[in-house]
Amino acid sequence: MITTCAVREECKGSVRVLLAEDDLVNQKLILQMMKKAGHAVDVAKNGREAIDMVKLSAYDIVLMDMQMPVMDGVEATEEIRKAGFDDVPIVAVTANVLDRDRERCMAAGMDDFLPKPISRDGLYGMIEKWVLDKPFSDSGHEQAVGDSGDDREPAVFDKVKALDMIGNNSKVLQEVINCYLEDIPRRVSCLKDAFACQDMAEAARIYHSIKGGASQIAAERTSAVALKAEKAAKMGDIEVAEGYLADVERECEQVKQAIDAIAW
């Protein structure tokens, strides 16, 4: 009997992946998962870098974040397709996809969607679906994007959920959590600069990134607060959006305390 795990072992080292992602947490997580599967990954920090890298190297698949600085994933995909790279699968990596967003992505030339927070099964499923052409049960991918269907109160930190998403690897989880928390002061500083310049688009982008990282480590309360802040920033309500900044900092500190209290 050939198991899914056995198939993955046989295919180690056979896939070359381009990850277009500016978020350090998602970079670290995907790199760790792909390394464990034996795949080679290059990282582009924005859409412009992704275009240049596709032109220079042959990739089996591109994982394209939707929201990046310099150039977003949709525009980068359009440019890649215009340059004649029609055969490489491009998968949108995103936290929320409404029907209009999905239509825009498909029109740009994207092939599929990988929902955030990223699960090990969802990530491996995309590789097997588009590159290895192997059947794979992907419960993470079948979940409605942006809709968990969970009505319970959000947790400060849900260790069980976080471990489940990355395949119960506590070492990787700790590394990803540390990366996220260590980067919060920089993000807060960038948010303060954005508010000082009244750049609400940049504030919304940063809050979106904070929200995504929090979801990835199952810091549910932080994610919920960052989502409210992102919505306020998108609506141009600078007073409300800026007011959430202290809430985000407080929630992140509570996440740190919760994690420090855990016996790993």
Element spanning 119, H or E:
none
pLDDT of residue 29: 92
Decide: 15 and 205 in contact? Cβ < 8 Å: no
Domain pair 4-142 / 159-260, same fold: no
Q: The CATH number of 159-260 is which of 1.10.3720.10, 3.10.290.10, 3.40.50.620, 1.20.120.160?
A: 1.20.120.160
Q: Tokens in use for 24? A: 């350090």
| Ramachandran sector of residue 70 (left: φ over 0; alpha: ψ -120 to 50; beta: rest) | left
pLDDT of residue 258: 93
Q: Is the pLDDT of residue 53 over 70?
A: yes
Q: What is the pLDDT of residues 186-244, one digit of tens each?
A: 999 999 999 999 999 999 999 999 999 999 999 999 999 999 999 999 999 999 999 99
pTM: 0.79
Provide the 3-class DSSP secondary structure of residue 117: coil
Supply φ then ψ for residue 38, to 5 degrees.
85, 15
Side-chain half-sphere exposure of 29, counting CA atoms within 13 A? 34
Decide: 170 and 193 in contact? Cβ < 8 Å: no
DSSP secondary structure code for residue 261 in this structure: T
Class (C level, CATH) for 4-142 = alpha beta
| Per-chain mean pLDDT for the chain | 87
Domain definitions of the chain by residue range: 4-142, 159-260
Distance between CA atoms of residues 197 and 203, nearest Å: 10
